[in-house]
A and B are shown apart, each in its own frame.
Chain A
Amino acid sequence: MAVKVRIPTPLQKLTDGKDEVEGEPGTVISLINNLDKRFPGIGERISEGGKIRRFINIYLNDEDIRFLQNEGTEVKDDDEVSIVPAIAGG
Chain B
Amino acid sequence: MSFKWKRLGENSLFLLPSIILTAALGIYPLLWMLRYMFYDYAGYGEALFVGLDNFSRLMRDGLFWESVGNTFVFAGGKLLLTLPLSLLLAVILNGKLRGGKLLRGIYFMPTVISTAVISVVFYTIFNSYNGMVNSLLMKLHLVSQPIDWLGPKHAMLTVILVAVWGAVGNYMLLFLAGLQSIPQDLYESAAIDGANAGRRFLHITLPMLAPVAQMVMMLAIIASLKGYESIMVITEGGPIGKTEVMYLYLYKLLFPVSTGSPVAQQIGYGSAVGFASAVIVGAITGLYFFLSRKMNKVY
Partners in one complex: no
Residues of B within 8 A of A (CB): none
